[in-house]
C-alpha cells in the first residue's frame, strides 16, 4: 500500500509512482467537458459537484490521487473523501496544468 506523506503529490512523484506500476485510483473531479479535453491515462471522472453522491464508485482498497485543472477542486475532493473515511488520499499539486508543463508537454492545455 502506498502511503502518502503529504496532502499533495507533485506531478514528478505521481509520474514516478505510475511508471513503477503503482496501483493508484486517479479520480479526476473536473466536469465531463474538461475531462474530455485532456486527462491522465487511467483516470476516472467523478465531478466534484456529484462526488458525495458517487462515493460508492471510488475503490477504498487503493490509494487515491484526486486531480483537477489547477489543484483547487482536487484539494476539496481529497477533504471530502477523508471526511467519508477514505484514508490514503492526496491531491495532484498544481493539477493538470502543472502536469502538462512538467510531465506531458503534448497534453492539450486550456
**What pLDDT does residue 19 have?**
96
| pTM of the complete model | 0.94
> What are 41-74's pLDDT values in tens digits?
999 999 999 999 999 999 988 999 999 999 999 9
> What are 1-18's pLDDT values in tens digits?
555 767 999 999 999 999
Options 68, 75, 92, 96, the catalytic residue: 68
Looking at 1.10.10.10, 3.30.70.260, 3.40.50.620, 3.40.250.10, the CATH number of the domain 8-38+50-102 comes to 3.40.250.10
> What are 77-102's pLDDT values in tens digits?
999 999 999 989 999 999 999 999 99
38 tagged catalytic: no
* Sequence-distant (≥ 6) Cβ neighbours of residue 96 within 8 angstroms: 30, 38, 39, 40, 67, 68, 69, 107
Amino acid at each position: 500500500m502506498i502511503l502518502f506523506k503529504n496532502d499533495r503529490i507533485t506531478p514528478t512523484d505521481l509520474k514516478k509512482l505510475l511508471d513503477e506500476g503503482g496501483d493508484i485510483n486517479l479520480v479526476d473531479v473536473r466536469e465531463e467537458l474538461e475531462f474530455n479535453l485532456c486527462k491522465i491515462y487511467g483516470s476516472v471522472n467523478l465531478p466534484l459537484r456529484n462526488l458525495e453522491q458517487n462515493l460508492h464508485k471510488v475503490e477504498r482498497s487503493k490509494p487515491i490521487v484526486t486531480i483537477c485543472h489547477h489543484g483547487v477542486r482536487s484539494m476539496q475532493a481529497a477533504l471530502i473523501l477523508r471526511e467519508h473515511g477514505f484514508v490514503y488520499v492526496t491531491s495532484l499539486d498544481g493539477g493538470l496544468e502543472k502536469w502538462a508543463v512538467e510531465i506531458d508537454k503534448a497534453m492539450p492545455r486550456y
